[in-house]
Amino acid sequence: MSSRARALWIGGLLLVVLATAAGLFGSHIESPRQAAATAAPPPPAVLTALVVRKVLSNTLVFRANVVAANATPVEMPTLPGGSQPVVTAVEKKAGNSVNEGDVLFAVADRPVIVLRGAIPAFRTMTPGDVGTDVTELQQALHRLGYSTGTDAEGHYGYGTEQAVRDFYAARGFQVELTSPQADINLENAQQAVTAAQRALGTPGGNTPSATNTLAQAQATLQNLENTTGAIVPLGEVVFVPTLPAKVTSVSISAGQLLQEGAATAGASSPSGVSPSAAAVAGGGASSSSSSAPMMLGSGLAELDGQVPTTSGSLLQPPVARSCERGCRQRPSTTPQASDGRLP
């Protein structure tokens, strides 16, 4: 290569190097106007986020048994002396709804009737009795449309006794009496009062003796009205705290002879004869619910087992806001916890 060609080649290489250096240096140099434009904030903008309204749910898998709430075993009623514990009617089947005043079943033609009440029956209710069980009975009779007359609350008087008679008759059953002669004695006393009134009203009959006879007859009649008549044997009324309820199980059938030995200890009929099966369960000590002729539940359900618990809060995206000064933000993709109120 000649010296001239070599000089041209070297000169061209120098020009390339100088041009490259100038370009690199020039890219880092900007005018004051360019610097101000670069530092200025972007125009104001509104940042928004999508709000979704839905039900938050979480699936739990666990083991538990579903049982009826307020389970109430219903046992057979006390029976009159000489009666065999034969099931004569079963009015409800498993799954049936039970309302106040319904007959559940009958044993030896004695009914078992359900009423609403928080305190289970604990005795045979008779005229003259006073107590919370009588109050519950009166309240149930009132709800079903039966008047108890002028009886005080909680007092089983003549008005309550008459309401009990009507209540049983409406369901096709005769009432049990304080004694077999109770109605006859009452009728005789009423006739004695009528006769004394007539004697007192005859000419010359208004004498101290006639007046005394009438007073004695009236006192006898009032005493019989207050202390004799229809009773509610232990077990014929079942007080259940929640109604309507459902029959959860039935273990008896019509014609079945219930076995001896299933009785509630100490329960006895008005005549002193021990019943052959438990009186109303919950009205005192009772046999195990597994032997009960019928089981009632409130219709609700309870989980019998270890049930896990969870906690959480509603989620809410951040509220849209305006970016007034130069800020370069993106809408948050993570919802923020809130007090449960959506915007």
CA dist 301 and 64 (Å) reads 12
Q: pLDDT category, 43, cuts 50, 70, 90? A: confident
Mean pLDDT of 238-260: 90
Q: What's the pLDDT at 282?
A: 32
Do 215 and 89 lie in one domain? The reply is: no
Residue 220 lies in a domain: yes
Same-domain pairing of 198 and 143: no
Last residue of a domain, one of 228, 263, 290: 228
* Per-residue pLDDT band at 64 (split at 50, 70, 90): confident
In a domain, residue 13? The reply is: yes
Q: Is the pLDDT of residue 2 over 80?
A: no
Q: Which helix (H) or strand (E) holds 7?
A: helix 3-27
Residue type present at position 91: E
Average pLDDT over residues 237-261: 88
Query: Exposed (0-12), middle (13-18) or buried (19+): which is 109, by Cβ within 10 Å?
Result: middle
Domain-embedded: residue 306: no
Tell whether the model's pLDDT for residue 290 goes beyond 60: no
Rounded CA gap, 323 and 163, in Å?
80
**Checking DSSP bridges between strand 301-304 and strand 315-316, what pairing results, if any?**
unpaired
Q: Are 185 and 284 found together in one domain? A: no
The answer to whether residues 220 and 255 belong to one domain is no
How many structural domains are present in the chain?
A: 3
Say whether both 244 and 140 belong to one domain.
Answer: yes
- Asked if residue 319 belongs to a domain, the reply is no
Are 95 and 169 in the same domain? yes
pLDDT of residue 267: 32
pLDDT (tens digit per residue) in 107-131: 999 999 999 999 999 999 999 999 9
The percentage of residues in the chain with a pLDDT greater than 90, rounded to a whole number, is 46
What is the average pLDDT score of the chain?
Answer: 79
171 and 273 both lie in a single domain: yes
Can you tell me the distance from the alpha carbon of 155 to that of 133, in angstroms, rounded to the nearest whole number?
A: 10
Query: Looking at the structure, do residues 94 and 237 belong to the same domain, yes or no?
Result: yes
Work out the average pLDDT over 234-254: 93
Q: Residue 160 domain-assigned? A: yes
Query: Exposure of 83 by Cβ count < 10 A (0-12 exposed, 13-18 middle, 19+ buried)?
Result: middle
Question: What would the mean pLDDT of 170-185 be, rounded to a whole number?
Answer: 94
Residues 20 and 118 in one domain: no
Q: Are the beta carbons of 234 and 285 closer than 8 angstroms?
A: no
146 shares a domain with 245? yes
Is 314 a domain residue?
A: no
The answer on 271 and 171 residing in a single domain is: yes
pLDDT at 333 over 70: no
Q: Encode burial over 116-155: b for 16+ CB neighbours within 10 A, e otherwise.
A: bbeebbbbbbbbbbeeebbbbbbbbbeeeebebeebeebb
Whether residues 75 and 156 fall in one domain = yes
Give the domain range for residue 243.
66-179+233-300
Is 264 inside any structural domain?
Answer: yes
Between 14 and 245, whose confidence is greater? 245
Does a structural domain hold residue 292?
yes
